Amino acid sequence: MSLINRLKIFVMEKSRRTNGMHYYKIYKRSQWQDQQQLATLQFKQLTNLVDHVYHHVPYYKHYMEEAGIKPKDFTSLEDLNKLPIVGKDEMKRHKNAMVANNIKEYRAEEKRTGGSTGRPLKYFVPKVSHSLMWANIWRGWNVTGYQPGDKIAVLAGGSLLSGFDIKRKLYYFLNNWIPFSSYNMSDDTMGSYLKKLKKGKIKFLYGYSSSTYELANFIIKKGETLQLNGVITTSEVLLPHYREAIEKAFNCQVFDQYGANDGGVTAFECRQHDGLHIGMERCYVEIVDEEGHAVPDAVEGRILLTDLTNYAMPFIRYEVGDYGSLTTEPCSCGRGLLRFTHIKGRQQEFIYSAGNRKVHGGFFSTTFRQYDAVEQFQVTQDKVGEVMIKLKLSDPQFEQKLERIRRNILEKAELKKVSFEITDHFEKTKGGKHRFVINNVTEREYLQ
């Protein structure tokens, strides 16, 4: 990293009152500790956190007293299941009781989740957690060769690029970010992004998976060639055909990341591309079934997150809304960090079949990813047993195959009606992310 870039990062950290570079250097070393050493660190952090919430967080103090639980009763990481699973709705209902009565000690800031579910949550996070978040993100980016301060294009919406006023532009400058908004992915806009990538000596790109895929397809169609050192995707499921197109367009490997700052988790792919390494130094992850019981290694379930560092408004056994699975098998890269084998996506990415069951949006991903002509899809449900599917096609002749695909979806997903619309326009979240499934049916309508 050049002296100028080091100074820019120093000024940026001072302005936001974080210490991410300090923890980044620590995390670059700690990721190579063995799994047991990292688990021992987690247990120490957990016992401190439980003691804190018992004495300072009304919600947990009341719960533990009612259940007859004391901090000394937590003798292993697995004992965390003595505490309740909480989701966004629970956090919102009891927000005041979730906040520590000594919150002023932690220099906490109010944040809010992206609101892709339509239910954004306002919460508090201390400065140390903010620093650790950036340490984890930078550690993941470092797999590509990136160093904090290197020039990087950021293709995203509100969750990463929250505006373009003078203050935000200064923030991007100090981070050495080249901001590309994901809200408008027209040919003219993507053409301007391509010019900036070619002329700006940019070697790294960080972006929403779907938007990066759109840009990659544009570059491929233009017959252009680029050579980046690495592309990091985030915020959405990285589908196999997304990865293939992005690697072709940018002539480099793609490294996927997963993050939920409210739950304290950041996970990243290493060069083995065999799952995503979890930032264990900050977050303890559980995978549970629908009844809340722990599942075995590599079995899919609900993801629960415990931020081991947020004492201002603790997120403990927080159900972020995603499904996935864990493995304790060591990675051949040598890192001791546990891995997600996969992240399946949000709970709301289900549609309701006519056969009285839920069908995950992954069914549609599997259906369409086998066809190169399907560049993008979006499934909308307004009635139980019926869906409308928007498709962006690279080959108009593909429409001839839609009747066979429609019959297959009707049968496999147990639906009464499937219709298609060929379009280039898709609904996005307020944060500029692509929505694969838009389910407008309420749980009550499904159960009737």
Among residues 373, 350, 353, 367, the alpha carbon closest in space to that of 438 is found at: 350
Q: Quick one: pLDDT at residue 115?
A: 47
Nearest partner of 347 among 292, 377, 414, 302, judged by Cα = 302
Q: What is the pLDDT of residue 360?
A: 65
Q: Which residues pair with 326 in a beta bridge?
A: 340
Q: Would you say the C-alpha torsion 426, 427, 428, 430 has a positive or negative sign?
A: positive
Per-residue pLDDT of the chain (448 residues; tens, 9 = 90+): 678 888 999 999 998 899 999 999 999 999 999 999 999 999 999 999 999 999 999 999 999 999 999 999 999 999 999 999 999 889 989 999 999 999 999 999 998 775 444 456 889 999 999 999 999 999 999 999 999 999 999 998 777 787 778 888 999 999 999 999 887 788 899 999 999 999 988 999 999 888 899 899 999 999 998 999 999 999 888 888 899 999 999 999 999 999 999 999 999 999 999 999 999 999 999 999 989 999 999 999 999 999 999 999 999 999 988 889 999 999 999 999 999 999 876 544 678 888 777 776 767 877 887 787 888 889 999 999 999 999 999 899 999 999 999 999 998 888 999 999 999 888 877 666 777 888 888 766 766 6
Measured at the CA of 36, the angle between CA 32 and CA 37, to 5 degrees, comes to 60
Token code pair at residue 271 = 């060069």
Domain 350-447: what homologous superfamily? ANL, C-terminal domain (3.30.300.30)
Determine the pLDDT at residue 117: 41
Q: Domain spans of the chain?
A: 350-447
Residue burial 319-331, b: 16+ Cβ < 10 Å; e: rest: bbbbbbbbeeeeb
pLDDT of residue 118: 42
The per-residue pLDDT for 402 is 94
pLDDT of residue 116: 44
- pLDDT of 357: 74
Instruction: Please identify which residue in the block is written with the tokens 């793609």.
Output: 254
Q: Is the whole-model pTM more than 0.85?
A: no
Question: How far is residue 85's CA from residue 76's CA, in Å, rounded to a whole number?
Answer: 18
